């Protein structure tokens, strides 16, 4: 048998919790699952709302997007809380490895990574990736898969974070067009401390198979993805727009 595909879909911003979301990116993610639509079983998708402190409203929006409401019924939705009374590590591992998709929500990236490491979720996510479970997320849920990037975890001004999971080498910047200080801050940090990487607009995403970019997709006509790095010598930031397919 061929080894399972290791897939990550890194979403720059937008998503099911933002007004105006049409669910197109979510449909794309669900289409990647090994069992999605096969043998009559809906794909299983688990929400990790750790970065928002397990926000109740965020969790409700997730269930409405995937298992209820106008677009619901697309998946067997569940979530994993890590605040309050979390599950034992063995139970967390078994639960996450039973999913087809693991979706990481937005919020405070630094806090999320710290909580994950306390409960061993970081190790389980690596195992899930190797097993072919689709990993995805928006904002903090995009940034976490890389080695580092631009974060608002410590408030404004934006700063660098260096302790991502590192499944994908290099750095990342979500909300590239959605917040006016994201682009200039990323360029400044690239010159000083961050490795070259990618930047993703709101409503756009990069689909990785293994550690290679398979495609760039967007649910808005002008949503874009970029490779960004520093040209040496000279220290000039180089920004290369990648072809982004509009999912109509």
Backbone angles phi, psi at 105, to 5 degrees: -80, 175
Residue 124's pLDDT band, with cuts at 50, 70 and 90, is very high
- Backbone φ, ψ for residue 194 (5° rounding): -95, 145
3-state secondary structure of 205: strand
Of 52, 139, 153, 219, the catalytic one is 139
**What does the alpha-carbon distance between residue 85 and residue 145 come to, in Å, rounded to a whole number?**
26
Q: Is 98 designated active site?
A: no
Residues 44, 33: Cα–Cα separation, whole Å: 9
Catalytic-labelled residue, pool 55, 153, 171, 175? 175
pTM of the model: 0.95
Domain ranges in the chain? 7-246
Polymer length of the chain:
248
pLDDT confidence of residue 24: 94
Compute the average pLDDT of residues 197-215. Answer: 97
Give the CATH fold of the 7-246 domain: Rossmann fold (3.40.50)
Per-residue pLDDT tens over the stretch 65-114: 998 765 657 899 999 999 987 788 999 999 999 999 999 999 999 999 99
Which long-range contacts does 123-129 make (Cβ < 8 Å, 24+ apart)? 124/92, 124/93, 124/96, 124/97, 125/96, 125/165, 125/167, 126/165, 126/167, 127/93, 127/97, 128/96, 128/97, 128/99, 128/102, 129/6, 129/7, 129/8, 129/167
Q: What is the mean pLDDT of the chain?
A: 93
Specify whether 159 is catalytic. no
């Amino acid at each position: 048998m061929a080894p399972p595909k290791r897939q990550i879909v890194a979403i720059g911003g937008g998503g099911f919790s933002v007004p105006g979301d049409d669910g197109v990116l979510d449909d794309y993610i669900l289409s990647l699952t090994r069992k999605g639509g096969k043998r009559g079983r809906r794909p299983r998708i688990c929400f990790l709302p750790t970065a928002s402190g397990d926000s109740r409203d965020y969790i409700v929006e997730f269930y409405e997007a995937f298992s209820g409401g106008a677009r619901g019924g697309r998946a067997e939705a569940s979530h994993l809380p890590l605040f309050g009374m979390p599950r034992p590590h063995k139970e967390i591992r078994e639960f996450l490895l039973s999913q087809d998709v693991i979706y990481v929500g937005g919020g405070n990236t630094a806090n999320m990574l710290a909580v994950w490491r306390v409960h061993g979720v970081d190790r389980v996510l690596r195992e899930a990736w190797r097993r072919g479970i689709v990993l995805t997320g928006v904002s903090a849920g995009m940034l976490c898969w890389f080695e580092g990037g631009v974060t608002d975890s410590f408030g404004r001004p934006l700063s660098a974070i260096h302790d991502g999971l590192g499944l994908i080498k290099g750095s990342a910047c979500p909300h590239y067009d959605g917040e006016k200080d994201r682009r200039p801050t990323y360029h400044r940090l690239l010159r000083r401390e961050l490795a070259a990487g990618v930047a993703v607009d709101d409503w756009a995403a990069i689909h990785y198979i293994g550690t290679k970019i398979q495609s760039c997709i967007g649910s808005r006509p002008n949503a874009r993805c970029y490779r960004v790095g520093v040209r040496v010598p000279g220290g000039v930031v180089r920004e290369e727009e990648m072809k982004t397919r509009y999912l109509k």
